[in-house]
Amino acid sequence: MEEIELIRQAQAGRHHAFRRLVLRYQKPLFKFLNGYGLPAASIDDVAQETFLRVYRHLHRYNLAKGTAFLTWLFTIAKHLAFDEMKREKRYQTLDIDQESTLESNTAHSTYETINTTQQQYQLQQALFRLEEPFRSAVVLSYIKELSLEQVAAIEQCAIGTIKSRVFRGKKQLRTLLEESQ
């Protein structure tokens, strides 16, 4: 079923349609939230709260505005993720799945695998040290590979502002990575 029809049915109170929306978007939402470096348990909580808020406020989502449902969902999730990070008052590293890294690099030597894991860790640490809103713009545009238009919609600002934030964020990120070496 097409997304627009699912949204209309969910807005009309059909629970099966909302369930299908959740099933369709839960994987992208978890990937999105993982970029904020929250612990796995917090990611689960934020994802659940995101879908609860979407359910409660689905009547406010306006198809005629032209905002993509995924953008609206990610905007809610971003705000909840920031609230969670403030609550914890610390940034945590992303879980690096060592097993999958090893499995996907079977052709690489152990040294190359360790080097890749260290680089991922350094990048994560540098991302967490980036100032807001630069971190958010860099994560959304490069890590999550969203278009500048999508990032601008999530951040609720002009595309020019996002371009500036991405540029300045990359510059800060480069400096942080150079310092860590």
pLDDT band at 179 (very low <50, low <70, confident <90, very high): confident
Instruction: Please give the residue that has the higher pLDDT: either 124 or 51.
Output: 51
Task: Tell me: do 2 and 77 sit in the same domain.
Answer: yes
Statement to judge: residues 88 and 110 lie in one domain: no
Q: Which of 17-21, 37-41, 56-60, 72-76 has the lowest mean pLDDT?
A: 37-41
CA dihedral 52, 55, 56, 60 (to 10 degrees): 130
For residues 6 and 17, the answer to whether their CB atoms sit within 8 Å is yes
Domain final residue, candidates 46, 63, 92: 92
- Lowest mean pLDDT segment, chosen from 31-35, 110-114, 137-141: 110-114
Instruction: Pick the last residue of a domain from 92, 114, 133.
Output: 92
Q: What is the pTM of this model?
A: 0.61
Burial of 117 (0-12, 13-18, 19+ CB in 10 A): middle
Please indicate whether residue 118 or residue 83 has the higher confidence score (pLDDT): 83
Give the orientation angle of helix 159-179 with respect to helix 110-129, to 10 degrees. Answer: 130
Q: Which residue has the higher pLDDT, 106 or 162?
A: 162
Instruction: Give pLDDT, residue 25.
Output: 94
pLDDT attached to residue 67: 76
Predicted local distance difference test score (pLDDT) of residue 97 = 43
- The CATH number of whichever domain residue 9 belongs to comes to 1.10.1740.10
What is the dihedral sign for C-alpha 170, 144, 157, 42?
negative
Q: Quote the mean pLDDT of the chain.
A: 81
* CA distance readout (Å), 34 to 16, 24, 160: 27, 17, 26
Are 114 and 146 in a shared domain? yes
Q: Does 105 lie in the same domain as 87? A: no
The answer on 169 and 122 residing in a single domain is yes
How many domains are contained in the chain?
A: 2
* pLDDT exceeds 80 at position 35: no
CATH code at position 179: 1.10.10.10
Q: Is there a single domain that holds both residue 67 and residue 139? A: no
Domain boundary among 68, 92, 116: 92
Domain extent for 116: 100-181
Structural element, H or E, at residue 25? helix 15-34
Whether residues 41 and 104 share a domain: the answer is: no
